[in-house]
Amino acid sequence: MPADTIFHKILRREIPAQIVYEDDDVLAFKDIHPKATTHLLFIAKKDQDFVSSIDDLTEKTAYVPLLLIRKAQAFAKKYGIDGYQLRFHVGRGGGQEVFYLHLHFLSEQKLAD
């Protein structure tokens, strides 16, 4: 059975999220328990059934982390955020709770409304 997580449900619009960016490849939304002034999560739309964690990457899905990083970089540039942290939590021991590969974007700069 394909994986189904809370982020799959956000992607399918079955549960609400504060979406800040979307294109054909990625979705970005605000973390519900922010650890910084701006705390966003970037997820890829494709291959979501196969990429649960950095730990699971294969030749076919190795593009996903770089895609997320590039989208986060473009997002930061667009919104004038020039200082931020990007994090992947890997596995339960690494603090990962949602097994749908996602990139944390944290900044003490506020996202303009």
Binding site for ligand AMP (CB under 6 A): 6, 17, 29, 31-33, 41, 89, 95-98
- Which is closer to ligand AMP, CB of 41 or CB of 51? 41
Measured at CB, which residue is nearest to ligand AMP? 89
Please state the closest distance from residue 43 (CB atom) to ligand AMP, in A.
10
- Which is closer to ligand AMP, CB of 10 or CB of 81? 10
Which residues are the active-site residues?
102
Q: Which amino acid type is present at position 74?
A: A
SS3 9: helix
Please state the closest distance from residue 53 (CB atom) to ligand AMP, in A.
9
How would you classify residue 91: left for phi > 0, otherwise alpha for psi between -120 and 50, otherwise beta? left
- Which is closer to ligand AMP, CB of 76 or CB of 101? 101
Please state the closest distance from residue 71 (CB atom) to ligand AMP, in A.
17
The string of DSSP letters for 39-91 reads: EEEEEESTTTTT-SSGGG--TTTTHHHHHHHHHHHHHHHHTT----EEE---S
Q: Alpha-carbon distance 104 to 93, whole Å?
A: 17
